[in-house]
Amino acid sequence: MNIAFLTSEYPHQKINHSAGIGSSIKNLATELINQGHKITIFAYSQDSNDIFKDNGIIIHKIKYTRFLVLGWYLYRKQLQNYINKTIKREKIDIIEAPDWTGITAFMKLKCLLVIRLHGSDAYFCNLEGRKQKWKNFWFEKLALKNSDAIVSVSEFAAKVTRSIFKLKVSITIIANGIDLDKFVNNSVLSYEPNTLLYFGTIIRKKGVIELAHIFNELVQLNSNVKLILIGNDSKDILTKSNSTYSIFKKKLSEKAKSRVAYIGKVKYELLHKHIKNAHICIFPSLAETFGMVTIEAMAMQKIVVASNFGWNKNIIDDGINGYLRNPKNHKEFAETLDKLLINNSKSIKIGKAARIKIEQEFDISKIANQNIRYYKSIIKSK
């Protein structure tokens, strides 16, 4: 098959931005290439135009164009025309786009369109209790309505999205996956005791503010504990501050503040070293569709303590291959961490079980096969 992905993010040095969605697309695209399929990436809202290859994947970097009026409509039509020319020239069978911002609203593409639920603006507004702009809701609903099929990265995301937009169509569930060969830890017994690691965007919806309160509680129980944060700092949507980390820091007690290190964004290889070095990985997210960082840490046999919300319940079996706790219950979360820091043998046991869970359910080769069968079923049905 000839498959394309429309996205604003992708992990490549020429692309402006990448986060969890970009990583999940690259993981899938790379495995599809390995299995003999042709892959095209349309990266929109970029700073310039370019076409290049990355390990066999054809990437179209498409510059964002500003219009004096109706820019939200005219840029979408400009994208549509560019993509349709490529579809016709390259004989693309199917294109996949995310639900975020409803980028395909008003587009009439000359191949089948799949929308993958990575998390719409409406979805995150719903989880965070924020009011969404009516225009954004309209875009996202129209994009979903005009798609040929909808797939979700989790049952929870599908359920919430179906309720928000009152969808009647079926939604297939296919989780994200990772290349297990890239997440290997051959030195499970070698780590820095009492070291917690958070990696991901420094943003309120990921539970970073809750993490400050949790850590305040934890340092009262364990004075040797250390917290390392890795990831891009971001603007805070609630306070309009340009730095969520600065808000996080202000919430820390003086004792906790001295035990925190913020490293910022690091290279892929260095991140792996930090994961291996960590005693526990902690992800107290308040709004998510699927935790890519969670399965990455679990694949490296790390004990993970994450939010006990719906998207995590198909990833972590509480007490078996990780732990699920309410990040707003700061004391309970901290007490769980403290007990795990003391019990090294349990950490190793849970870490091994975590790797097995990822091998069984989130191996990208298995996930790619699920996607291939799904794409073929859509093509056949149309």
Mean pLDDT, range 165-185, rounded to an integer: 94
pLDDT for residue 12 is more than 90: no
**Mean model confidence pLDDT for the chain:** 94
What's the pLDDT at 36?
93
Domains of the chain: 2-177+363-381 (3.40.50.2000), 180-361 (3.40.50.2000)
d(C-alpha 72, C-alpha 326), whole Å: 38
- Residue 18 pLDDT more than 80? no
* Interval 55-96: pLDDT, tens: 999 999 999 999 989 899 999 999 999 999 999 999 999 999
Q: What is the pLDDT of residues 233-273, one digit of tens each?
A: 999 888 999 999 999 999 999 999 999 999 998 887 788 89
Q: Are 196 and 228 a contacting pair, CB within 8 Å?
A: yes
Check: CB of residue 86 under 8 Å from CB of residue 115: no
Counting DSSP H helices and E strands in the chain, the numbers are: 13, 14
Distance from C-alpha of 62 to C-alpha of 79, rounded to nearest angstrom: 8
Cβ-based burial of 262 (10 A; exposed 0-12, middle 13-18, buried ≥19): middle
